[in-house]
């Protein structure tokens, strides 16, 4: 998997888990404690331990925390899979079906790409509660690939 990446357009070498995790501090992804655990061709694994700041005022997992994990994983997967010469990407659509909740433990997901074209990528993931294996959410997004003008 080769990505030009919008932060380092000259890079044509594959990205490692350490490369991607090094980009996260100071971002929302880093603030929420999301980390990438594996990168494969057209797939990326991530995790997020549930803490109090991930919960809604009712004490259950905030939907936005789940979406942040799924969208961040799919976005970073897009980043490492950008076509050569692309300058970046932007999300043009996302959808989440919330199926369950949690108050502790760890959420995990694997972003997979059913479509990686020149102008769009489609990514999807199932967010799971690691300790129980329960499905928390189904997520799908479409990314528009950006090209230099």
Q: What pLDDT, in 10s, does the model give residues 6-33?
A: 344 444 558 999 999 999 999 999 999 9
Domains, the chain, with CATH or none: 17-146 (3.10.129.10)
Collect all residues with Cβ–Cβ distance below 8 Å to 112 and sequence separation of at least 6.
42, 43, 123, 124, 125
Q: How far apart (Å, rounded) are the C-alpha atoms in residues 21 and 106?
A: 18
Q: How far apart (Å, rounded) are the C-alpha atoms in residues 35 and 47?
A: 6
Tokens of 91: 């999300």
Which band of pLDDT confidence, cut at 50, 70 and 90, is reported for residue 1?
very low
Judged against a pLDDT cut of 80, whether residue 98 lies above it is answered with yes
Q: How far apart (Å, rounded) are the C-alpha atoms in residues 96 and 94?
A: 7
The answer to whether the beta carbons of residues 112 and 43 sit under 8 Å apart is yes
Among residues of the chain, what percentage have pLDDT more than 70? Answer: 91
Burial group, residue 25, by CB count within 10 angstroms (0-12, 13-18, 19+): exposed
The answer to whether the beta carbons of residues 135 and 66 sit under 8 Å apart is no
In 3-state terms, what secondary structure has residue 72?
A: helix
pTM score: 0.90
Q: How far apart (Å, rounded) are the C-alpha atoms in residues 97 and 36?
A: 22
Average pLDDT over every residue of 100-122 = 97
Q: How far apart (Å, rounded) are the C-alpha atoms in residues 137 and 126?
A: 6
Mean of per-residue pLDDT scores for the chain: 92
Which band of pLDDT confidence, cut at 50, 70 and 90, is reported for residue 41?
confident
């Amino acid at each position: 998997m080769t990505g030009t990446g919008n932060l380092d357009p000259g890079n044509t070498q594959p990205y490692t888990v350490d490369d991607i995790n090094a980009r996260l501090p100071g971002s929302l992804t880093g603030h929420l404690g999301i980390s990438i655990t594996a990168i494969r061709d057209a797939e990326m694994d991530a995790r997020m331990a549930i803490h109090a700041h991930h919960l809604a005022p009712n004490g259950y997992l905030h939907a936005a925390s789940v979406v942040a994990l799924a969208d961040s994983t799919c976005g970073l997967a897009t980043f490492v899979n950008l076509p050569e010469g692309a300058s970046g990407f932007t999300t043009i659509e996302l959808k989440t079906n919330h199926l369950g909740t949690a108050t502790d433990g760890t959420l995990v997901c694997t972003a997979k790409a059913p479509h990686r074209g020149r102008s769009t990528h489609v990514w999807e993931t199932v967010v799971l509660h690691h300790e129980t294996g329960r499905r928390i959410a189904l997520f799908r997004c479409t990314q528009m690939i950006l090209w230099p003008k």
